[in-house]
Structure formats: C-alpha cells, structure tokens
Chain A
Amino acid sequence: MERKWRKISGLIGLLLLNFMNNVSSLSLTITKVECVYEIVRSEGDIVSGNFVVVDHHIFWSSDHPGIDFSITSPGGDILHNLKGTSGDKFSFKAPRSGLYQFCFHNPLSTPETIALYIHIGHIPNEHNLAKNEHVDPINVKIAELREALEAVTTEQKYLKARDAVHRRTNESTKKRVIGYTVGEYILLTIASVLQVVYIRRLFSKSVGYNRI
C-alpha cells in the first residue's frame, strides 16, 4: 500500500512527500523452496513481519527438522537465516533499496502451509536529503504514529496465526483422545472375548479328556 502526497505551493514547485507503507499478508504452500519478493523503495525503511507454519499438526513428529527461512538483500547478502523453525517474527532496517527476497525451504517432501505477513514502513526524515526539501515535522510525527499502529497490526496477525495453529492442535487432540479411548475399549473387549473362547476350547469335549 503506498500513499503519495503531492502539493503545489503556489506556482513555484511541487513538494513531493512520499509516505509509503507496504503490507502483504498471505498463506503459501511450500513443497521444496518458495521465494517471495518485495520491493523496498528507499534505504532505511524498516521491514518487519512474521510467519507461522500452519500445518504443524500431529504428523509433525518430534524429529521433524522444521522449515528454514532466509532473507536476502538485493546485494546478495543473507540478512536473516533461521533453520528448523515453526514460526518467528523478524524486523530489520533495510540497508539499501531494491528487491528483497524472503525464502522458505522445506527439507522434507510433505508440503507445508505457511502464513506470512510482511510490512515495509517508511518514515520521512525532517530533511529529505535526496530532494533537499524540508518536510513538515507534523507529517513526520503522523508517519511515526502510523508505523506504530502498523506494528500493532503486525503483532495481531502473528497472534491470529498462532491462535489458529493452537486451535488446530487442540481440536486434533480432542479427536485423538476420544478415538484412541474408544479403540482401546473395543480392543479390550475383543481380547477378553477371545480369551474366554480359547479357554472354552481348551476344555471342550472334542479335544479329549486330557487336561492341559
């Protein structure tokens, strides 16, 4: 989401204030490697975000390696590298403008679903050095306020995604508890019936009068 402010003061010139905010929230399915790209417009923008592995369910045994996540800057350096996670937050200041790469790597073959949220926030400086113009301090304050609200929104999306994962886990726990218990009862009954049948057979007449 990008917002452009444009003002013409009289006939003299254009005063361009760029208040740019970018949000993208989505859920992806990863089979092997998936990369998502975002363009950061200016250097010094704060990129924050989070991701949660949604498919983290009962089949994810304790020796599952987890998902690897990495952020690459346009220059090729890896800014952030997380191995074997099931969800995390990240936040960094963009060292330069350009195309940033957010990559997920799934070491196993089962596809995993990930809920990702990225927010790129820009606060204009009081002196916009690139354009050598003076930015009204109140607009800077408004931009800071907006960024603070976006931080709250980012956190909320993270909490929502984690809540969804926990909900899934709890629902599957409930189903499993009931399923296994009922299965246990049936097995117990069958075992005891088989025991009785076996003992009866041991003592039946056709086997003979030999006591065992």
Chain B
Amino acid sequence: MILRSVLVLVLLVGVLFRASQSLRFDLQSGQTKCIAEDIKSNSMTVGKYHVVKPNEDHPLPDSHKLTVRVTSSYGNNFHSAEKVENGQFAFTATEQGDYMACFWAPEHSPPITVTVDFDWRTGVHTKDWTNVAKKGQVDAMELELKNLYDTIQSIHEEMFYLREREEEMQELNKATTSKMFWLSFLSLFLCLSVAGLQFWHLKTFFEKKKLI
C-alpha cells in the first residue's frame, strides 16, 4: 500500500486506478485461519495479503512470517507460499464453489498475535484500471460509468442465479412432499400387511397344534 501511494505521486496525468483497502484479522502462533469465498466459474479473482508490521522500523522477525495456501473445494491448489511476509495471487476460477485461503502462523514459545491484512476480490471488482490512463475528467467519468455498467451486469446475473436456486429449492420441496405422501401410504400398507401376516401365521400355527 505504501508503494501504491508512491505510484500515485509519480503519475501526474489524470489517472483512474484502485488501491487496496482490505480487512484484517489476528492469528495466534500455531493457529490456522481459513477464509472461504464462493466464486463462480470463469471469473477472475485477485488476492493480496501482507502482515501488518508491529514496528515500522525493524524488519519482520521470522516468527511473524506466514504460510499461505489457496485451495478449491475439490482440493486443487492454486497458490501456496511458505514463510512470507506478503504476497499475492490471481487466477481464473475453473470450477464454481468455495475457495479457501488458509493462513498459518508458525509456532512460537510465548504465543504472539500476528495481524494479517487480506484483500480478496472477485468478479467485477478485480478489473485493474491502472492500465487505462486517460487525461481529463470526462474520460475518468466515462470509466466510472463503465464500471457501474459492469456492476449492474453482475447484479443482473446474480438475480438469475438466485432465481435458478429458488426454482431448484421449490423442486426439492415438491419432491419431499410427494415422497412423504407415498411413504405414508406405504407405511399404512406395511402395517396392515404385517398385522395380517402375524394373524395368518398364528392361526395356522394354532390350528396345527390343534389348540383352535
């Protein structure tokens, strides 16, 4: 993030770009925390992570370096890094599902807390606008409106997805009720047949024994 502000200062022409602002969480030594995100197939995803330095001047000690692994729900590994202070990953999601980014802080004898800053963006938010540099305010506005248009598209797609899911749920519920209906008839039939079999069997048994 410091590098980006330097970049901002350097670029003097009207530029529209995005810096990262992210969420933070704490990791105890030896603890693993995983963050999962549901990503649609064929959408880009970009992630950046770094350890927030407790002390700005000194270099980060080894005890604060992380091990990171990004895996899909099918077990494929998309990114892994050992003992790093910061890093990033980008890939196009081939399969739809939950992707997990797991962070692990190494063991340390007095347990210390490592603060990790993590920014994970998918879909419409990953578009990197740094390459598109134009002069003037009107062009910047045009880019912003284009971005809004892309957002609207993704909202539209999401609505379709939700509608599909709702339909699937309705089908599921219908199937469940019809199963319950048929199963109740079956249980009635089973009950009566079991009682009938008992009755018939005992009758023949007693007749055989000449008790009836």
Contact = CB atoms under 8 A, between A and B. Distances in A.
Interface of A: 1-8, 19-20, 22-29, 34-39, 41, 99, 118, 136, 138-139, 142, 145-146, 149-150, 152-153, 156, 159-160, 163, 166-167, 170-171, 173-174, 177-178, 181, 184-185, 188-189, 192, 195-196, 199-200, 203
B173 A170 contact: yes
Interface in B154-172: 154-155, 158-159, 161-162, 165-166, 168-169, 172
A24 B121 CA distance: 8
Contacts of A20: 21
Chain B binding surface, main DSSP class? helix
A156 B159 contact: yes
Interface of B: 8, 11-26, 33-38, 98, 115, 119-121, 125, 129, 136-137, 140-141, 144-145, 148, 151-152, 154-155, 158-159, 161-162, 165-166, 168-169, 172-173, 175-176, 179-180, 183, 186-187, 190-191, 194-195, 197-198, 201-202, 205-206, 209, 211
Contacts of B190: 185, 188-189
Given A8-B14, A149-B148, A188-B191, A177 B35 contact: no
A20 B21 CA distance: 9
4 A-B pairs with least C-beta separation: A37-B24, A24-B23, A27-B36, A2-B21
A196 B191 contact: no
Given A23-B125, A139-B141, A156 B162 contact: yes
